[in-house]
Amino acid sequence: MGTEITLKDVWFHYYPQTESRENWAVQNVSLDFQQGEYVSIIGSNGSGKSSLACLLNGLFIPTEGAFCINGQPITTDQDRWELKRRVGMIFQNPDNQIVAPSVVDDIAFGLENLGVSREEMKYRIPLVLEQVGLSGLEKKEPHHLSGGQKQRLAIAGILAMQPDVIIFDESTSMLDPDGRKHILRLMDELHKSGITIIHITHQATEAFLAERLIVIHQGRIMMDQSSKELYANATLLDQWGLDVPIGILLHQALRDKGWKLSEKMESEEQLVSELWTSM
């Protein structure tokens, strides 16, 4: 059946006893996520995107409003346990997610918590190690892994639990360019396999790799559009403290210089194609 997530009029404050409606981490957010989507949530530092990620994963409970999985409100500890089985999360710093003395033991940790049998573990663990490119490192101590390898180990631990949804919370921000490309490519592969991907980021270039892009600013949703729709209006991102992708800036600069390019671009691929035609 998959997992559909719904937030309806959600507010969240780290100190819920406050009476003021100002400075809430999440303010009046209503969103729906369908199974199989690839969504980016983009915002500057302090915009509330990580607070929203923790709400989606059940780490936080809304101060006000409704949070539902497949139409069922999440209100009890049992509901939250089911949520964690369905929704996995990859944190910015993989060291916060690695708990065992070896690669294989770390992946097995989450499976043990779910009550997965030893035989099933023996089947799942090699598959996810192959999927993330860590085969042959089963006995390696995690603190001897590179930053990119640690992030892949964190992903493997979540994949082994077979969630319907995976949230990546700034998961590429601490990686070098090669490590970043690998994780982004893995996100795309997981999406194509049917897993819902929710990518929390402040990097506009990464965000536009998703099919749908949500902009959050000061805890509020400012835009929620397909990436193609937003790409044509991406200069709006600047007003919320976000970088505009270089392809869009180049498109504008060339039009200002008199190049005969389309008024609106839907992707960098379209820009490259039109440049080749013009040349």
Q: Compute the residue count for the chain.
A: 279
Q: What is the pLDDT averaged over residues 62-84?
A: 88
pLDDT of 162 strictly over 70: yes
pLDDT of 174 strictly over 90: no
Output the pLDDT for position 12.
93
**Non-local CB neighbours of 78 within 8 Å, separated by 6+ positions:** none
pLDDT of 269 strictly over 70: yes
104 closest CA partner among 118, 90, 94 = 118
**Non-local CB neighbours of 30 within 8 Å, separated by 6+ positions:** 7, 8, 9, 10, 221
How do beta strands 26-33 and 38-42 pair?
A: unpaired
Cα–Cα distance, 179 to 108 (Å, whole number): 24
pLDDT of 22 strictly over 80: no
Output the pLDDT for position 232.
75
Output the pLDDT for position 67.
94
Output the pLDDT for position 18.
66
Which residues belong to CATH 3.40.50.300 in the chain? 5-236
Third-level CATH fold of 5-236:
Rossmann fold (3.40.50)
Output the pLDDT for position 35.
95
Output the pLDDT for position 1.
62
Ramachandran angles phi, psi of 95, nearest 5°? -60, -25
Output the pLDDT for position 39.
97
Output the pLDDT for position 277.
84
Output the pLDDT for position 63.
92
Q: What is the pLDDT averaged over residues 235-249?
A: 84
Estimate the share of the chain in helix, then strand, then coil, as percent rounded to the nearest 5: 40, 20, 35
pLDDT-derived band at 69, boundaries 50, 70, 90 = very high
Q: Retrieve residue 214's tokens.
A: 């949500």
Q: What is the pLDDT averaged over residues 146-166?
A: 91
pTM of the model as a whole: 0.88
pLDDT-derived band at 20, boundaries 50, 70, 90 = low
Cα–Cα distance, 104 to 108 (Å, whole number): 6
Output the pLDDT for position 183.
87
Over residues 80-104, the pLDDT tens digits come to 888 888 999 998 888 888 888 999 9
Ramachandran angles phi, psi of 61, nearest 5°? -110, 135
Output the pLDDT for position 189.
92
Residue 140 neighbours by CB distance under 10 Å: 15
**Non-local CB neighbours of 164 within 8 Å, separated by 6+ positions:** 2, 3, 35, 86, 87, 195, 196
Output the pLDDT for position 17.
72
Ramachandran angles phi, psi of 148, nearest 5°? -65, -40
Q: Where are the beta strands (DSSP E) in 58-207?
A: 64-69, 72-73, 87-90, 165-169, 196-201
68 closest CA partner among 2, 3, 4, 6 = 6
Kindly state the percentage of the chain with pLDDT values over 90: 49
pLDDT-derived band at 167, boundaries 50, 70, 90 = very high
Cα–Cα distance, 211 to 225 (Å, whole number): 9
Over residues 251-260, the pLDDT tens digits come to 888 888 888 8
Output the pLDDT for position 176.
83
Q: What is the pLDDT averaged over residues 128-155?
A: 90
H or E stretch covering 82: helix 77-86
